[in-house]
Amino acid sequence: MSIKVFIVDDHQLFIDGLKSLFKRVTDITVVGEALSAKECLEKLKNIDVDVLVTDINMPNMKGDELVGFVKRLYPKIRILTLSMHDDYGHIDTMIRAGVLGYVLKNTGAKELQEAIRYVHSGQTYYSPRVQDAIIKGYSKEKVESFSKVANIEEEIILTPREVEVVKLVIKGFSSTEIAEILGISYHTITSHRKNINAKLGTSSLVEISKIVTEKGLI
């Protein structure tokens, strides 16, 4: 079944380029487009969409505001940011708003297609430069919500295998892919990830990236 994609960007030429690109992809179909967040919300009322691909800077409403509305009104739609901004501030804002992926506009066609597939399946996907920005950004930021972890005096100890898993998780690999890379079962990977989250007090890729950076665990 083809993934139904809706594109939001304030440049028609860019939208047309993406539509042309996806015409050659059998499992991705562009079912709608909009030049503004307001237009997007109007059209989503009458279109069945799997993945929303949106920029950040648009007329009428910012990208993170649009994400908030879409998540409230259409919770089944997965959202991917496609932007020229590679700084931590923009990335963090969109992730906190609820996007599952963030790729840059200078990315290749294959990576963008892969990102859409990942997001559609409920997994996260971040371009390599985006991953770097997340890690560097969190290493400099002091967030109160993590103070209880930062103040724990006892040392957090990850096993060698857990360190391997964390490194691959931060790079954006799914549990299935990590199992294949490390040559162990999917069940074992999920157990490792539960143990890692328990030790670090985390529940997401973003939180794991922050803690391992702050603590110098890898």
pLDDT tens for residues 71-104?
Answer: 999 999 999 999 999 999 999 999 999 999 999 9
For the cut 90, the answer to whether the pLDDT of residue 198 exceeds it is: no
- Where residue 136 falls among pLDDT bands split at 50, 70, 90? confident
Using alpha carbons, list the distances in angstroms from residue 51 to 75, 130, 149, 176. Answer: 11, 20, 35, 22
Compute and round to an integer the Cα radius of gyration of the chain: 18
* Average pLDDT in the chain: 87
Please say whether the beta carbons of 37 and 66 come within 8 A. yes
Q: Where in the chain is the domain with CATH 1.10.10.10?
A: 142-215
Contact yes or no for 126/88 (Cβ under 8 A) = no
**CATH, range 142-215:** 1.10.10.10
- Least confidently predicted of 34-38, 98-102, 118-122, 142-146: 142-146
Structural domain 3-132, CATH architecture = 3-Layer(aba) Sandwich (3.40)
d(CA 121, CA 3): 10
Element counts in the chain: helices (H) and strands (E): 11, 6
Phi and psi of 58, rounded to 5°? -145, 165
Residue limits of CATH 3.40.50.2300 in the chain: 3-132
| Position 7 pLDDT exceeds 50 | yes
Percent of the chain residues topping a pLDDT of 70? 91
The pLDDT, as a whole number, for residue 218 is: 65
pTM of the model: 0.65
The segment with the largest mean pLDDT, out of 79-93, 157-171, 191-205, is 79-93
Give the side-chain half-sphere CA count within 13 A for 119.
33
